[in-house]
Chain A
């Protein structure tokens, strides 16, 4: 005869005291979630560039001129800061996940994970900028 286990007791969700901006964890969480909008907007900016490249020389020049204008820079700088915030936060999570012990294998050392994640970001960013700036290719 089998008996059904009673449901696990759970406490009701706690509503934070005060405004969420006063809590660093909530603030970071909300900003991180909002990067979904920032990343999408950055991709839309890039897609306009692809469209300009597909259209022709004049469209590409107009695209660069639009991005270089004051409204263009007012758009691009916050997007850049948002993508940087996302990248750092994402990679910090990426460093923590492999440190959870799973099975018999020991977790890799934290220093190696940090070096791999953030070293990879720096190396790829440098490579992309060297290509875009015409230093290589």
Chain B
């Protein structure tokens, strides 16, 4: 738990960066990928495998995907950790912090591995 407290500035940095990216990019990306594309509101060319793969697999696309997804996971972990403390779970903050940050680390590794396969 001491190590987690010592790294508090890092958690806040990741929280801020993830919150900023998620606020700026996630609504439009989720609308485009999760709603407009499957509903057929975009042309077939726009959502074709080769075009979307090309967008995601270029260096800027890879960087954006890894940064957005991994930093959002860290943002969420930090937010939920402090929410748990506010709910009065201070006595359990050790396992809660390790669990949430562990999930964020796992999400980061998975996102790097998946984007690396593109």
Interface of B is mostly: helix
Q: With a CB–CB cut-off of 8 A, which chain A residues contact B77?
A: 36
Question: In the complex, what distance in Å separates the CA atom of A36 from the CA atom of B18?
Answer: 11
Pair B43/A37 contact, Cβ less than 8 Å: no
Pair B52/A47 contact, Cβ less than 8 Å: no
Which B residues have a C-beta under 8 Å from some C-beta of A? 19-20, 22-43, 45-47, 49, 51-53, 55-57, 65, 68-69, 72-73, 75-77, 79-80, 82-83, 86, 107, 110-111, 114-115, 117-118
Q: Which of A60, A64, A87 contacts B26 (CB 8 A)?
A: A87
Pair A46/B30 contact, Cβ less than 8 Å: yes
Which 5 A-B pairs rank lowest in CB-CB distance, beginning with the nearest? A134-B46, A68-B38, A76-B34, A36-B76, A132-B32
Q: Which of A54, A90, A126 contacts B118 (CB 8 A)?
A: A54
- A117-128 contact mask (Cβ, 8 Å, vs B): 1 or 0: 000110011101
Q: With a CB–CB cut-off of 8 A, which chain A residues contact B79?
A: 33, 35-36
Q: With a CB–CB cut-off of 8 A, which chain B residues contact A66?
A: 38
Question: In the complex, what distance in Å separates the CA atom of A22 from the CA atom of B99?
Answer: 32
Chain A interface residue count: which class? 35 or more
Question: In the complex, what distance in Å separates the CA atom of A89 from the CA atom of B25?
Answer: 15
Q: With a CB–CB cut-off of 8 A, which chain B residues contact A129?
A: 28, 31-32, 36
Q: With a CB–CB cut-off of 8 A, which chain B residues contact A47?
A: 69, 107, 110-111, 114
**A4 touches B (CB below 8 Å):** no
Q: How far is the CB of B16 from chain A (nearest CB, A)?
A: 9
Q: Which of A33, A34, A53, A86 contacts B56 (CB 8 A)?
A: A53
